[in-house]
Amino acid sequence: KSLSIRRSVISPVVRASQGPSERSYVMIKPDGVQRGLVGEIISRFEKKGFTLIGLKLYTCSSELAKEHYKDLSSKPFFPKLVEYITSGPVVCLALKGPGVVASARKLIGATNPLQAEPGTIRGDLGIETGRNVVHGSDSPENGEREIALWFKEDEVCEWEPSMMPWLRE
């Protein structure tokens, strides 16, 4: 059947009823930007099928970095972590899709790149925990919290890619 027929059959209303879509905050850290890995990393999430609903290059304040990582504020590495995240521009991504939070964490790999599986972003592109290239929200609640922290409301663009019927039944 042609795509146009499928599109008329699968109405947005039906698709919406297939379950709420989750959102995750993913960030290419300053080392990923400096090393020229932005395209490579964004490409992995695009190819997987998640929808990019927010994207910007941004150099953050230490206040924002501290708020983002507030759960780690008692860790000995916290000051160095804040220094690392504020050391240059990061690329902020908001991604949407079913199960995107857990799936993005799998694509990113373990915190220590030496322990991350080959095929994951950290497993393929890093060697140190303190330079592990990318961040991904660890729960849907944190996904929402972090998107609200890093993006203004009008910087998040809710849209439906026209290829969606080729990605989801």
Query: Which residues are part of a known binding site for ATP?
Result: 29, 77, 105, 111, 122, 132
Beta strands in the chain (DSSP E): 22-28, 51-58, 90-97, 134-136
**144 lies in the binding site for ligand ADP (CB under 6 A):** no
**77 lies in the binding site for ligand ADP (CB under 6 A):** yes
Size of the site for ligand ADP (CB under 6 A): 9
How near is the Cβ of 90 to ligand ADP at its closest, in Å? 12
Helix axes 38-48, 100-108, angle to 10 degrees: 140
Comparison of 6 and 80: residue with beta carbon closer to ligand ADP = 80
Told to judge if 135 belongs to the known catalytic residues of this protein, a careful annotator would answer: yes
Per the residue annotation, which of 23, 66, 68, 135 is the catalytic one? 135
Q: Which residues touch 158 (CB under 8 Å, ≥6 apart)?
A: 53, 96
Query: CB–CB of 94/25 below 8 Å?
Result: yes
**130 lies in the binding site for ligand ADP (CB under 6 A):** yes
Under the rule (CB under 6 A), what is the footprint of ligand ADP? 72, 77, 81, 111, 129-130, 132, 135, 138
Catalytic residue IDs: 135
